[in-house]
Structures are given as structure tokens and as C-alpha cells.
């Protein structure tokens, strides 16, 4: 192949074109020096040397090329730094999400500048001390109750605050974080499609690639992702490279976040609130992923939905889920982070200890009866018969009130009668005392219808007269004329004086619980504990002593209550689990040993330590991230110094190429116009 005489002009022209394009790219870089996410661009140049041989050539070693060729405009990026940056920003996302929750918890438990639970505990101690000095003083009892009510109000407030923190965190996950991740995945898929279409038309779409890289970096803050690039041929000699984005769980399983012919398909995440067996929400969440696939648009892929909650390694989604689902050492088995649940469970355990301790100390140990002022005996109606009067023996219940209770007993002349529902030999308890005495009279007519009148067995009938308030036995037949009846003339069938013994059921212990649950459950929590209604309406009080023979000034039980405030005890969190046989069991986790005040202080200190520790971790991750970002900027960012050097370099290159063209023109002018004219 013969080299053209004018090929030098082509070299100069190509050099000028390359320099001009390089100047344009340098100008583009300078123009976007403040554009977020912009990647520095460069002109890709190669030396142009056509294949083939020349028919006329002095020597193969003297062959030269045909100038410079622009092969494209590319971005200056370091893939290794991209991987480092995305791995590190995921760690920052985890720590930052956790810190957001810990900062909210600090507002709940920090009592350094205000009175709250610890002050309330001190006030309870002070009021109990005053009550111990004047036992059974109702006004001082009210003071103790008021100080306990203040404490419970603080518990309720903190329970509400914790509930709000949890709800706000879940709401943020549902309404902001998950939608943002899905939006990023959608944008990346759309950008992949747009870049592909642009490159098919010959446009490198570098600005769209910048947008995609920004989206990938932002996505990496939510989820730990890996990005690899796959090539596909667009046309002969032209290839398109698109990113394949994957999520790899802590279990090693990998899920595609983008897929399709050129990465246009994308995955989606969802969040669900977990529920208890009764259908109520338990405060935790589950994260599910439907991975991207090579399916046609509109294909139902819900069957691919996978729960990835326990396999999140890093990212803000993991940090949020940890805050909602983990309770540290109060989980079974223990987890690696004390989330909201730890503080809820610890506060509930403190409440349960307080309620149990004071309810047990205030237990009433003396059985009580349902009816009051039951007479011990009766008497005969005194008279001298005229032959028309009946003998009468009556027991007066005019001063009695109330009613009999189940399993209470009344012994009449050695025969014991038990009150109940009327079955199994019991006396049916009526709607009121009258009905119950009517039922008792019916039984007496079976067991004691015969009485001795002046030593003679005499038949009769028992009946209760509501008008007179008397349970009376009346002889069936009138007395013989002249019979004298004194108050002691009528006795039981065995000749003994009739007597009554009324006894309480030992299980009838009046409930003196100071605390109850507002929802009727058996388990106390910071949100459901309340002062019992009986204590609020003054029908019960703090028991000053359990010694029945103690005087009115006895205060031994109040002193026990005072001591209980400073007694060292184990604080345990109670939980249920299923054993190997599938049977529900109760387990306990001891998380602190000390008194009530120390337990709450420990809760405060734990929150402070957790927050400080996580802050240190966050700062460390941010520092490493900044270093990685600086390294990225050093490679991909625009530097005015470097671009200034490039301007001078390409300007001189352009000038030199122009000078080459001028020189070649002068040489040709000599060759054409001045060669071979000597002698003309």
C-alpha cells in the first residue's frame, strides 16, 4: 500500500481534532466541578496504523502510523474503591440507624435534669417512714398511695414513650426506608434501560452512568450490595456493559437485585408487622425480598418472596430491624444488640418486682365472713299455756347483715352446715340473707324438727320470719293448758342447750393487693399497672402489722416495706418458649442484682453506655468512609490544577498540530512550485 503524499495532513488534522475534543472534555470537567456525583471524563486515544503492506518502501522499520484515533470518551473510576466505598457506607448505615434509635431512647431515660422515677422512689421511702412513725394514720396512708401513683404515672409515661419510639421507627421503615430502597432499585433498572438505548444510538451516556453510580452508592447505605459488570454486544464491534447488582445474605445466599436482557428488571422489598398468637402485633417486623429475574413484564413473581430479616449483614435497614427485633441478653438466645425491646422488658421487670413485693407484703392473712353479727344461741318464748298456744324457740337475726359465702359453715347444736350452691349436701346461698336463712330452715326441718320441751320430745317446724328477723321453731301441736314455758324450757333433741357457731372459710382472705393490672391480665407491665380500686376508695389500706395481737401502733410490716426498697434482689425477665415436645414453658433471664433504685439507674447507665459505644463505632466507620471517599475523589473527582494542566497540554498540542499542517503546506509548496524550475 503506497503512502499518500498528503497523509501528513491527515495526521495533523487528526491531531487537531483529538486536541480539540480533549479541550472540550476538559471544559466539561471544569463545568461540572461542583456537580454532585460527577465523574471525571477523559478522551480515549490510540495511535492509528492501518494494516497491510506498501508496494514501495525503503525498509519495513521505517513505516510510520497515520496519526491518532479517538476511540471514545470514558470515565476515570477505580472499581476497587467503588467496592470499598459501598461496603463501608453499608456499615455506616447500620450504625447510623442504630444511633437514631438510641438517641430517642436517651430522651426517654435521661433523668439528669428532671425529677422522675428515682425521685418518686425516694418520695415513697420518705412517706413510708412517716407512716411507720404513726401507723394506721389514714392521711399518711393516702400520702404513700399518692407517691406510688406518681411513680406509676412515670412508668406509664415511659411505657408510652417507648411505644412511640417503636411505632415511629416502624412507621419510618414502612413509609420512608423501604419505599426509598424500592425507588432506588426501580431507578437503577430504568437507568440501565436508558443507558442501553443511548449507547445503541452511539452515545456513551456518561451522565446517566453518573446518576446510576449515585443510585448504587445510595442503595449500598440501605443494603449490603455487590456490583459486577456484564457485557453484551450491541452491534459488530460494539459492546454494552451493565451492572448486575446482588444482595448476599449472612447465610451466604445471593439474590439478584437487577436482571433482564440489559439490567432493566429489578427486585422489590416489603415489610410486615409480626403478630402474636392472639393476632395482636408484637412490635417486631419482617423484611421480605422478591428478587429480580429474567421474566417478562407482568409476570406474577410473588411465589419468589423470601424472608431475609435474619440475614441482613449491614445497612440502615439492618440497623432499624435490629432496633425493633433485638433485645440483647434478654433474648433467648441472646442477640448482639440491645434494641427497644431490652428497655421495654427491663422496665416491665422492674414494675413486676415492685408490684409483687408490695402486694405480698400487704397480703391480709385473716379470713373474713360474709355475714356479720350472727347470734350464738336463741331462747324460748316464755308463757303459761291456756291450751291454745304453741311452744316457740327463736334465734334473732335482727342485727345481722351481709350474706353467707361459699364454703362458710354454721354449726347448730353440733351439726355443721356448709353453704354453697345447694348441691353435695350444701345449703344454697340465696340472693340475700333472708333467702339463705329460708334455705337453712328447710334443712333444719329435716335434721332438727324435734326439740325437747320441758324434757319431752316435741315435733315442730323451723321457719324464718323476715318481718321479725327471727329463725324460729314452732311446735306442731298446742301446749297443754297450764304448761309453763321459761326461757330455758326448750332444748335440742339431745337435751342440750341449742348453740350456734359461725366460721369463715379459710380461703376467704380479703384482697389487700395495692396494685392491679388495668387490662385484667396476670402479668404487670409498665403500661398496665395501676393502684387497686380498693386502695383508691380507701376500702383497704397498708397493713401496719400482721400480728393480730399487736397494738394500734405496731408498724413491723411498714418497716418491712421500707426495707424492701433497699433490699438486694434478682431482677428477672420472664418469657415463654416451647420445649422439644412442643409444650409451652416459662423461662427466666436474670439481668441485674440490686435494689429498685439501682435497677433503674442501671437501665439509665446501660442506655448511656450503648449510645456512647455505638457513637464511637459510627465515628470510626464515618472516618474510614471519608478516607475512602477522598481516595475516590482523588481518582474520579475534578481537580482545577489537573484540568488547568490539561488545558495547557491540549492547547499546545493543538498549536503544534496546526504548526505541523503549516509546515507540511510549506513543504508541498516548495515541492510543487519551486522544484524543477532552474534554467527556465
Secondary structure (DSSP) of 366-405: SB--SEE---SB-EEPPEE--SSPEEEEEEE-TT-EE---
pLDDT band for position 50 (cuts 50, 70, 90): low
What is the reported pLDDT for 112?
A: 64
The domain of 39 spans: 1-76+661-680
Which tens digits make up the pLDDT trace of 502-556? 988 877 777 889 999 999 888 999 999 999 999 999 888 999 988 767 777 789 9
Among 503, 528, 551, where does a domain finish? 503
Average pLDDT over residues 389-409: 92
Q: Has residue 40 been placed in a domain?
A: yes
Concatenated DSSP letters of 481-508: TT-EE-TTSEE-TTSSPPBEEEE--TT-
Q: Has residue 583 been placed in a domain?
A: no
Same domain, 409 and 391: yes
d(CA 51, CA 141): 108
> Which position has the higher pLDDT, 278 or 105?
105
Among 468, 503, 538, where does a domain finish? 503
**Which of 62-76, 434-448, 558-572 has the least mean pLDDT?**
62-76
pLDDT band for position 114 (cuts 50, 70, 90): low
pLDDT band for position 397 (cuts 50, 70, 90): very high
Average pLDDT over residues 604-615: 94
Same domain, 240 and 113: yes
Among 454, 469, 503, where does a domain finish? 503
Concatenated DSSP letters of 412-455: ETTEEEEEESS-TTPEEP-SSHHHHHHHHHHHHHHH--EEEETT
d(CA 169, CA 319): 11
- Per DSSP, 35 falls in state S
3 state SS of 165: helix
Same domain, 88 and 72: no
pLDDT band for position 215 (cuts 50, 70, 90): very high
Angle, CA 162 vertex, CA 156 and CA 165 arms, to 5°: 140
pLDDT band for position 453 (cuts 50, 70, 90): very high
What is the reported pLDDT for 308?
A: 95
> Which position has the higher pLDDT, 241 or 362?
362
pLDDT band for position 52 (cuts 50, 70, 90): low
Q: What are the cell numbers at 519? A: 387490662
What is the reported pLDDT for 429?
A: 95
Residue 678 has pLDDT above 70, yes or no: no
Same domain, 106 and 242: yes
Share above pLDDT 90 across residues of the chain, in percent, rounded to a whole number: 59
Neighbours of 148 (CB within 10 A): 24
Average pLDDT over residues 94-116: 86
d(CA 415, CA 417): 7
Query: Considering just the CA atoms, what is the radius of gyration of the chain in Å?
Result: 48
Same domain, 330 and 279: yes
What is the reported pLDDT for 162?
A: 96
Please say whether the beta carbons of 584 and 576 come within 8 A: yes
Residue 55 has pLDDT above 80, yes or no: no
Q: What are the cell numbers at 223? A: 443494603
Q: What are phi and psi of 200, to 5 degrees?
A: -60, -35
Per DSSP bridges, beta strands 427-428 and 225-235 are unpaired
| Domain count for the chain | 3
Residue 57 has pLDDT above 70, yes or no: no
What is the reported pLDDT for 62?
A: 61
pLDDT band for position 6 (cuts 50, 70, 90): confident
Q: Has residue 378 been placed in a domain?
A: yes
3 state SS of 237: coil
Instruction: Please list the residues that pair with 75 across neighbouring strands.
Output: 41
Please say whether the beta carbons of 399 and 373 come within 8 A: yes
Same domain, 297 and 426: no
Residue 111 has pLDDT above 70, yes or no: no
What is the reported pLDDT for 608?
A: 92
d(CA 639, CA 633): 9
Same domain, 429 and 353: no
pTM here? 0.77
Same domain, 106 and 33: no
Query: Comparing C-alpha atoms, which of 406, 371, 366 is closest to residue 502?
Result: 371
d(CA 378, CA 380): 7
What is the reported pLDDT for 150?
A: 95
Which tens digits make up the pLDDT trace of 156-202? 999 999 999 999 999 999 999 999 999 999 999 999 999 988 888 88
> Which position has the higher pLDDT, 149 or 35?
149
**Which of 166-170, 361-365, 377-381, 653-657 has the least mean pLDDT?**
361-365
Same domain, 255 and 348: yes
Same domain, 107 and 214: yes
Q: Has residue 295 been placed in a domain?
A: yes
Same domain, 286 and 389: no
Instruction: Please list the residues that pair with 235 across neighbouring strands.
Output: 238
Q: Has residue 200 been placed in a domain?
A: yes
Residue 641 has pLDDT above 50, yes or no: yes
Q: Has residue 639 been placed in a domain?
A: no
Share above pLDDT 70 across residues of the chain, in percent, rounded to a whole number: 95
Please say whether the beta carbons of 89 and 127 come within 8 A: no
Q: Has residue 255 been placed in a domain?
A: yes
The CB-side HSE value for 625 (13 A sphere, CA atoms) comes to: 19
Q: Has residue 454 been placed in a domain?
A: yes
Residue 239 has pLDDT above 90, yes or no: no
Which tens digits make up the pLDDT trace of 346-360? 999 999 999 999 999
d(CA 203, CA 241): 13
Residue 1 has pLDDT above 50, yes or no: no
Q: What are phi and psi of 659, to 5 degrees?
A: -65, -40
What is the reported pLDDT for 48?
A: 82
Same domain, 384 and 469: yes
What is the reported pLDDT for 585?
A: 84
Amino acid at each position: 500500500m503506497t503512502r499518500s503524499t498528503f497523509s501528513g495532513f491527515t495526521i495533523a488534522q487528526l491531531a487537531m481534532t483529538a486536541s480539540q475534543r480533549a479541550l472540550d472534555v476538559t471544559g466539561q470537567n471544569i463545568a461540572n466541578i461542583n456537580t454532585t456525583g460527577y465523574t471525571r471524563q477523559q478522551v480515549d486515544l490510540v495511535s492509528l496504523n492501518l494494516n497491510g503492506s506498501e508496494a514501495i518502501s525503503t525498509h519495513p522499520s521505517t513505516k510510520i502510523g497515520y496519526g491518532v484515533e479517538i476511540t471514545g470518551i470514558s470515565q476515570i473510576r477505580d472499581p476497587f474503591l467503588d467496592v470499598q466505598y459501598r461496603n463501608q457506607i453499608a456499615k455506616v448505615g447500620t450504625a447510623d440507624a442504630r444511633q437514631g434509635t438510641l438517641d430517642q431512647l436517651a430522651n426517654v431515660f435521661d433523668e439528669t435534669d428532671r425529677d422522675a422515677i428515682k425521685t418518686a422512689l425516694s418520695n415513697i421511702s420518705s412517706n413510708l417512714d412517716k407512716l411507720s412513725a404513726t401507723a394506721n394514720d389514714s392521711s399518711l396512708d393516702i400520702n404513700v398511695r399518692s407517691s406510688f401513683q406518681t411513680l406509676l404515672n412515670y412508668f406509664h409515661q415511659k411505657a408510652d414513650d417507648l411505644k412511640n419510639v417503636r411505632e415511629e421507627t416502624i412507621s419510618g421503615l414502612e413509609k420512608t426506608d423501604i419505599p426509598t430502597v424500592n425507588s432506588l432499585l426501580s431507578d437503577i433498572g430504568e437507568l440501565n434501560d436508558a443507558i442501553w438505548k443511548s449507547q445503541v444510538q452511539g452515545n456513551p451516556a456518561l451522565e446517566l452512568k453518573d446518576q446510576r453510580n449515585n443510585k448504587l452508592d445510595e442503595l449500598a447505605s440501605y443494603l449490603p450490595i455487590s456490583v459486577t459488570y456484564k457485557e453484551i454486544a450491541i452491534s459488530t464491534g460494539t459492546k454494552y456493559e451493565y451492572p448486575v447488582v446482588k444482595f448476599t445474605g449472612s447465610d451466604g445466599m445471593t439474590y439478584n437485585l437487577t436482571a433482564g436482557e440489559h439490567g432493566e428488571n429489578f427486585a422489590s422489598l416489603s415489610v410486615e408487622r409480626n403478630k402474636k398468637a392472639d393476632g395482636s402485633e408484637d412490635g417486631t417486623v419482617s423484611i421480605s425480598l422478591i428478587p429480580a429475574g429474567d421474566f417478562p413484564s407482568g409476570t406474577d413473581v410473588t411465589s419468589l418472596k423470601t424472608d431475609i430479616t435474619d440475614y441482613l449483614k449491614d445497612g440502615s435497614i439492618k440497623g432499624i430491624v435490629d432496633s425493633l427485633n433485638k433485645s440483647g441478653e434478654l433474648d433467648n438466645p441472646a442477640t448482639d444488640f440491645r434494641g427497644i425491646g431490652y428497655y421495654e422488658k427491663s422496665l416491665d421487670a422492674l414494675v413486676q418486682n415492685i408490684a409483687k413485693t408490695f402486694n405480698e407484703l400487704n397480703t391480709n392473712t385473716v379470713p373474713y365472713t360474709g355475714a356479720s353479727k350472727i347470734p350464738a344461741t336463741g331462747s324460748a318464748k316464755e308463757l303459761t299455756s291456756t291450751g291454745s298456744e304453741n311452744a316457740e324457740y327463736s334465734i334473732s337475726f335482727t342485727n345481722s347483715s351481709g350474706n353467707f359465702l361459699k364454703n362458710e359453715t354454721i354449726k347448730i347444736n353440733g351439726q355443721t352446715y356448709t353453704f354453697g350452691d345447694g348441691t353435695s349436701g350444701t345449703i344454697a346461698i340465696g340472693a340475700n340473707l333472708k333467702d339463705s336463712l329460708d334455705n337453712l330452715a328447710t334443712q333444719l326441718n329435716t335434721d332438727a324438727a324435734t326439740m325437747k320441751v320441758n324434757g319431752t320430745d316435741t315435733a315442730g317446724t323451723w321457719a324464718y320470719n323476715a318481718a321479725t328477723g327471727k329463725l324460729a321453731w314452732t311446735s306442731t301441736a298446742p301446749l297443754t293448758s297450764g304448761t309453763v314455758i321459761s326461757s330455758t324450757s326448750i332444748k335440742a333433741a339431745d337435751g342440750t342447750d341449742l348453740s350456734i357457731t359461725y366460721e369463715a372459710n379459710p380461703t376467704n382472705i380479703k384482697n389487700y393487693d395495692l396494685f392491679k393490672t388495668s387490662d385484667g391480665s396476670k402479668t404487670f407491665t409498665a403500661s398496665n399497672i395501676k393502684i387497686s380500686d380498693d386502695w383508691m376508695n380507701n376500702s383497704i389500706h397498708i397493713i401496719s402489722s400482721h400480728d393480730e395481737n399487736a397494738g394500734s401502733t405496731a408498724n413491723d410490716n411498714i418497716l418491712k416495706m421500707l426495707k424492701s426498697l433497699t433490699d438486694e434482689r434478682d431482677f428477672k425477665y420472664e418469657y415463654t418458649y416451647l420445649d422439644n415436645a412442643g409444650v409451652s414453658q416459662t423461662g427466666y433471664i436474670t439481668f441485674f442484682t440490686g435494689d429498685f433504685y439501682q435497677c433503674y439507674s442501671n437501665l439509665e447507665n446501660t442506655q448511656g453506655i450503648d449510645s456512647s459505644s455505638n457513637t464511637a463505632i459510627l465515628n470510626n466507620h464515618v472516618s474510614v468512609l471519608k478516607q475512602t471517599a477522598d481516595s475516590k475523589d482523588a481518582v474520579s473527582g475534578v481537580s482545577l490544577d489537573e484540568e488547568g494542566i490539561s488545558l495547557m497540554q491540549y492547547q499546545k498540542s493543538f498549536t503544534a498540530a496546526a504548526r505541523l499542517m503549516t509546515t507540511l503546506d510549506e513543504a508541498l509548496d516548495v515541492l510543487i512550485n519551486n522544484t524543477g524550475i532552474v534554467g527556465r
